[in-house]
Amino acid sequence: MKKLMMATAAAALTAGTAFAGGHAKEVKLGVLLGFTGPIESLAPAMGAGAELAMEEVTKSGKLLDAATVVSVRADTGCIDNGLSTANGEKLVADGVNGIVGGDCSGVTGAILQNVAIPNGMVMISPSATSPGLSSMEDNDLFFRTSPSDAREGQVMAEVLKERGINSIALTYTNNDYGKGLADAIKSSFEEVGGEVTIVTAHEDGKGDYSAEVAALASAGGDILVVAGYLDQGGLGIIQASLDSGAYDTFGLPGGMIGDSLPKNIGSDLDGSFGQIAGSDSEGAAIYAELAKAAGFDGTSAYSPESYDAAALFMLAMQAANSKDPADYGSKILEVANAPGEKINPGELGKALEILANGGDIDYEGATGVELIGPGESAGSYREIEVKDGANATVKFR
């Protein structure tokens, strides 16, 4: 079934696109995301975003020698290191030229160490946000279009204080992502004078979270901040809190933001709030319209970042005149940042032409891309509040 799905996706991308110059080259990009597991509701729009960029480039006929770009999907399970590593190795064996992924931070680190580094493979993650990835030795093979959770902790502290929250209980999913984010939230909130009454881990995939919620409730706090995943443990913690009356308002970091959470909880989630990487740039609006025309929600969490990740691969290949990671990896920061002509979604063909003629581009993309330090997003955030059973954007930061 998986092979059939991959073949169908590749066929859909290349159907009806023939060019006079022919397709002398094929570029394969792995799309290694959590199509199952605790963020599976986010993965379809993430995969579709990456593949929208590939389709745009293929149709332009301007990448390398009119190359066709083929998507090869594979699953991480979000929190399954064994599955992620095995599928990463399979992508390399299948001849991919780069990997869009991983998604969740723990598996991303595992793929980087066990697959990317040994094989000299470039990875660009749209959603792995653990601060630990900033300092991990990566041989200049790892980039991300989402900002580090060190920044999100600061943003959440600002949001909490502005909303008059003086104390929080904090629970996190028991992995690299959850621990790193919880540490960032705790330290940042305490720096601005807030009190963290308890910090405790929870496991994903449990059927009953009443014990965890009882411990959180006994510690107190104005609200409960849930640094978890919206389709598994985080959902369970919130539902158990509401059922017991322990908490009725929740702080929602990035892994908790998506349409499925308010849909599953209902109106009881109204008034809860949080933040996720997001931009109010011109490119964000353009991307949302392009995605809508393609039949998916471009405002879904990490979908814009996925488009940008795939785009950066192809632009860097053009700048290097090569699809070999050893050649194009060093070009990613160049095409992502100034100087050069600013490039929005829908302008990838134009960007490829500029690069082919020896010019410079500054890829803005769907998220106002600027890569800093070890190749990660400088980061802007979208503040959300749940209103009438849906996530509503109330501010950008």
Which residues face 100 on adjacent strands? Answer: 31, 124
Residue with the two structure tokens 């706090």 = 221
Return the closest-CA partner of residue 185 out of 205, 213, 165.
165
Q: Which two tokens stand for residue 43?
A: 């993965």
pLDDT tens digits along 285-343 = 999 999 999 999 999 999 999 999 999 999 999 999 999 999 999 999 999 999 999 99
Hey, what's the torsion of the CAs at 286, 289, 294, 296, to 10 degrees? 110
DSSP state of 193: T
What pLDDT, on the 0 to 100 scale, is given for residue 8?
Answer: 34
pLDDT for residue 69 is more than 50? yes
pLDDT tens digits along 352-392 = 999 999 999 999 999 999 999 889 999 899 999 999 999 99
Determine the Cα–Cα distance for residues 12 and 295; give it in Å rounded to an integer. 14
pLDDT for residue 2 is more than 60? no
Q: What is the CA radius of gyration of the chain?
A: 21
List of E strands, the chain? 26-33, 68-75, 98-101, 123-125, 142-144, 167-173, 195-202, 223-227, 250-252, 273-277, 341-343, 361-363, 371-372, 376-377, 381-387, 390-396
DSSP state of 349: H
Domains of the chain plus CATH, in order, are 26-147+281-377 (3.40.50.2300), 150-276+380-396 (3.40.50.2300)
Query: Which amino acid belongs to residue 18?
Result: A
For the chain, the average pLDDT equals 93
Q: Which two tokens stand for residue 113?
A: 């160490």
Query: Averaged over 247-255, what is the pLDDT?
Result: 98
**Structural contact between residues 149 and 130, judged by C-beta atoms closer than 8 angstroms:** yes
Hey, what's the torsion of the CAs at 74, 316, 62, 298, to 10 degrees? 50
